[in-house]
């Protein structure tokens, strides 16, 4: 009987020495010291022994269990410490290594310019609305007082999709849409893509962006328009910026002007402007004795080119990161 205690003890010690991880050690401990296992199982054979041998046998089993428990505890502490060391080694972070560069995206320069324009005009009380890029012929032309035979309506200069719809050639098309719903006073602005059948060069594209702004109220005159475009230019391009207006023709304004700003000693044309033609106001039932309004439309690419010195607007649509990353 005592041999069996000895044998269990030796086997347990061997398993203990061979355990190379906490998990293996736990398995060995359960096998030899677990409830109803190993030495505990052996203890249950006590009753089968002659009475006089029982105390000594019991004492030796208790002794063996106590000593093995201590050995297992010591080995467990040892294995836990070395496992912790290994983890600290493997998961160590070298804080002296250079960081990996994080390439962040950014807003397209035209989006940045549009946002800036929205901030400036929003501050002047203009509400921004969106119109469709595929526009009714009527809103793009007829509602804007174009005569039947105006050359801009020629199929050669616009992208017609059906007989009555085309890709809008100007964001001014929003005017009729809004006037059909609103009665004065009102002030609106829109920013969006426009499309023209153009020979593409450094200053013209078939696809470009415009901002259009218009307002109708009592006693609106050219001086309101000039004041607004002066304030706009100073907010966009700096407090010293001067503006210039020269007579120009657009069917939807009377009088009409082109609008330029002073930039590095030169005049640069930004777009067109004028007082909304009374024919348009009347077509939407607005009393022209009481109300008048102004409107202007500017190129977004042009605005960014002036602010930054970009000299070819084709770059805006090419999405070459070497270009876009500069802004």
Interaction with ligand FA5 in 61-120: which residues (CB under 6 A)? Answer: none
- Decide: is 192 part of the binding site for ligand FA5 (CB under 6 A): no
What mask of x and - would describe binding to ligand FA5 in positions 114 to 143, judged by CB under 6 A?
------------------------------
Interaction with ligand FA5 in 199-238: which residues (CB under 6 A)? Answer: 204-205, 208, 210, 212
Bridge-based pairing state of the strands 127-128 and 186-195:
parallel
Q: Is 14 exposed, middle or buried (0-12, 13-18, 19+ CB in 10 A)?
A: exposed
Cis peptide before 312 (omega within 30 of 0): no
SS3 150: coil
Instruction: State in angstroms the smallest separation of the CB of 279 from ligand FA5.
Output: 14
199-215 per-residue burial string, b: 16 or more CB within 10 A, e: under 16: eeeeeebeebbbbbbbb
Number of residues that bind ligand FA5 (CB under 6 A): 24
Instruction: State in angstroms the smallest separation of the CB of 216 from ligand FA5.
Output: 13
Q: Which residue is nearest to ligand FA5 (CB)?
A: 299
Site stretch for ligand FA5 (CB under 6 A), options 71-79, 129-137, 154-162, 196-204: 196-204
Interaction with ligand FA5 in 255-284: which residues (CB under 6 A)? Answer: 269, 271-274
Rank residues 177 and 302 by Cβ distance to ligand FA5 and give the closer one. Answer: 302
Rank residues 176 and 271 by Cβ distance to ligand FA5 and give the closer one. Answer: 271
Output the CA angle 270-272-278, nearest 5 degrees.
Answer: 160
Instruction: State in angstroms the smallest separation of the CB of 152 from ligand FA5.
Output: 8
Rank residues 113 and 210 by Cβ distance to ligand FA5 and give the closer one. Answer: 210
Instruction: State in angstroms the smallest separation of the CB of 100 from ligand FA5.
Output: 40
What mask of x and - would describe binding to ligand FA5 in positions 291 to 320, judged by CB under 6 A?
----xxxxx-xx----------x-------
**Nearest to 214, CA basis, from 176, 245, 268:** 176
Instruction: State in angstroms the smallest separation of the CB of 273 from ligand FA5.
Output: 5
Q: Residue ranges of the alpha helices (H) in the chain?
A: 2-18, 22-33, 38-43, 54-90, 109-123, 137-140, 174-179, 222-237, 278-283, 300-308, 315-318, 321-324
Output the CA angle 11-16-22, nearest 5 degrees.
Answer: 145
Q: How far is it, in rounded angstroms, from Cα 132 to Cα 295? A: 19
Q: Which residues bind ligand FA5 (CB under 6 A)?
A: 170, 172, 196, 198, 204-205, 208, 210, 212, 250, 253, 269, 271-274, 295-299, 301-302, 313
């Amino acid at each position: 009987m005592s041999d069996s205690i000895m044998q269990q003890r030796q086997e347990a010690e061997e398993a203990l020495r061979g355990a190379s991880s906490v998990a293996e050690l736990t398995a060995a401990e359960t096998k030899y010291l677990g409830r109803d296992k190993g030495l505990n199982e052996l203890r249950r054979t006590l009753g089968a022994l002659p009475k006089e041998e029982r105390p000594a046998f019991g004492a030796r089993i208790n002794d063996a269990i106590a000593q093995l428990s201590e050995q297992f505890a010591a080995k467990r502490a040892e294995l836990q410490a070395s496992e912790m060391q290994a983890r600290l080694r493997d998961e160590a972070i070298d804080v002296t290594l250079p960081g990996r560069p994080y390439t962040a995206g950014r807003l397209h320069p035209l989006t940045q310019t549009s946002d800036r324009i929205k901030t400036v005009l929003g501050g002047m009380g203009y509400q921004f609305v969106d119109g469709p890029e595929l526009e009714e012929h009527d809103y793009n032309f007829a509602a804007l007082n174009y005569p039947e035979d105006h050359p801009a309506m020629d199929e050669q200069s616009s992208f017609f999709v059906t007989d009555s719809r085309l890709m809008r050639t100007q964001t001014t098309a929003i005017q009729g849409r809004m006037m059909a719903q609103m009665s004065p006073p009102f002030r609106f602005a829109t920013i969006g893509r426009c499309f023209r059948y153009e020979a593409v060069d450094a200053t013209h594209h078939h696809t470009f962006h415009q901002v259009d702004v218009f307002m109708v109220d009592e006693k609106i005159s050219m001086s309101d328009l000039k004041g607004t475009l002066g304030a706009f230019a100073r907010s966009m391009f700096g407090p010293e910026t001067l503006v210039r207006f020269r007579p120009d023709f657009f069917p939807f304004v009377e009088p009409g002007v082109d609008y330029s700003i002073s930039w590095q000693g030169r005049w640069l044309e930004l777009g067109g402007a004028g007082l909304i033609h009374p024919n348009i106001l009347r077509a939407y039932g607005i009393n022209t004795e009481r109300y008048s309004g102004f409107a202007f439309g500017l190129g977004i690419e042009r605005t960014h080119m002036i602010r930054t010195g970009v000299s070819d607007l084709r770059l805006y649509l090419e999405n070459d990161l070497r270009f876009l990353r500069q802004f």
